[in-house]
Amino acid sequence: MRPLRARAILWLAFACAFTAPAAAEPLKTLHLTFVGDLMTHPALAAMADYADVFRGVADVLQGSDLAFANLEFPVDSTRPSTGYPFFNAHRDYVAAAAAAGVNVFSTANNHAFDGGVEGVFETICALTSLDGPRRSFFSGTRGNPRRPFLPQGILVRGVRVGFIAATQFTNTGEGSRYIHVVDYQDDKAAAEFQELVRETSPFFDVYIVSYHGDREYKQEPSSARRAFFHRLVESGATIVFGHHPHVLQEHEVVTVQGRRRLIMYSMGNFISGMVKGAGPPALDGPEALLMDSIMLTVEVQVDAGASSVTATRAIPIVNYRPETGGAVVLKMDDVVQGKTAATKAWRRYVEARRARIQDLLQAR
């Protein structure tokens, strides 16, 4: 870590740069929504209208003060749209997500450096220039490697929200000068990140940490990551927002010093083309886990600068594949109730998958 005086000057400059009230007005409630990985694959790149991808869930996203997603690809319109193993998408895809209501993006993940330094710069430019219905924010990448990774300050309805994102690794093993890499299995790196949260969280009323890491396709978080997330809320995080496994894992509310904190271990996929084919996958097969998840709406009460999570609501979602191709996000309830164009086979499949998600949520 930096010498004490340098660190003090750094935080003082940071505090002065973020203009906000000395404290939030008493008893304000923020409405937040969290979704998982926003992916790009050939099936999505071929969509005629990207707005169709998010139309079925836009009411939830737009009804929130802030809506968070993990942006798991560079955004570089000067290069072709590509899928696995090196992702890239164009601005119109992300613009559609922003128009639907996603306005806070985590850009720290294992695919963040797929496009190299140019990809990082183009992504920053794309997100900075998004022309959505409300201002967009991001954390996890930087264009200037001399600039420290600090939380993004967001002022919403008089409440100061801090948002910081980090990833366990990048696929290329490079990019840490531009991507916020924090390996939770590295004791020194984990301790320094916890100290960063501890030192910066007092500047905000609500503090949100986004973390990308752990094992892919596992339905349970590792014990080490579980402990790391608990240390983050003990260090000052109001909410820890986890992703990378691509499947839904549990979330829990814990009490720290009389305040309720929220931990999401993995939010799974929000939208992806990871599963190929026209019809529903096998009901209990591994592909099903990649196609459904939840949107988690969260109420946070802010009282004189301190925050506490007062309510959460899980909205099960599915990546539905229309007969015309591509993939869209739909609320499972809408599919089961016949409010969408989904076929009978899809309706039966989604009803069964919804029951499994409900079982997972009730078991926590």
Predicted confidence band of residue 271 (pLDDT cuts 50, 70, 90): very high
CB atoms within 10 A of CB 128: 11
pLDDT tens digit sequence for 308-340: 999 999 999 999 999 888 999 999 999 999 999
The partner residues of 240 in beta bridges, in order of sequence, read: 209, 263
Supply the pTM of this predicted model: 0.94
Sketch the domain layout of the chain as residue ranges: 23-331
What's the CA gap between 228 and 215, in Å, rounded? 14
Amino acid 26: pLDDT: 66
Average pLDDT score over residue span 32-39: 98
Amino acid 15: pLDDT: 56
Average pLDDT score over residue span 131-139: 93
Q: Does residue 349 surpass a pLDDT of 60?
A: yes
> What tokens were used for 24?
């939030």
Predicted confidence band of residue 274 (pLDDT cuts 50, 70, 90): very high
Query: What are the distances in angstroms from CA 226 to CA 16, 121, 185, 364?
Result: 34, 33, 11, 14
Amino acid 33: pLDDT: 98
Give the CA count within 13 Å in the CB-facing half-sphere of 14: 21
Predicted confidence band of residue 45 (pLDDT cuts 50, 70, 90): confident
Average pLDDT score over residue span 271-299: 93
Q: Does residue 4 surpass a pLDDT of 50?
A: no
> Class assignment of domain 23-331?
alpha beta
Please report where in the chains the tokens 């967009």 appear, as a residue.
Answer: 136
pLDDT tens digit sequence for 228-257: 999 999 999 999 999 999 999 999 999 999
User: Are 159 and 208 within 8 A, CB to CB?
Assistant: no
Q: Estimate to the nearest angstrom the gap between the alpha carbon of 349 and the chain centroid.
A: 27
Helices (H), 218-331: 223-234, 286-291
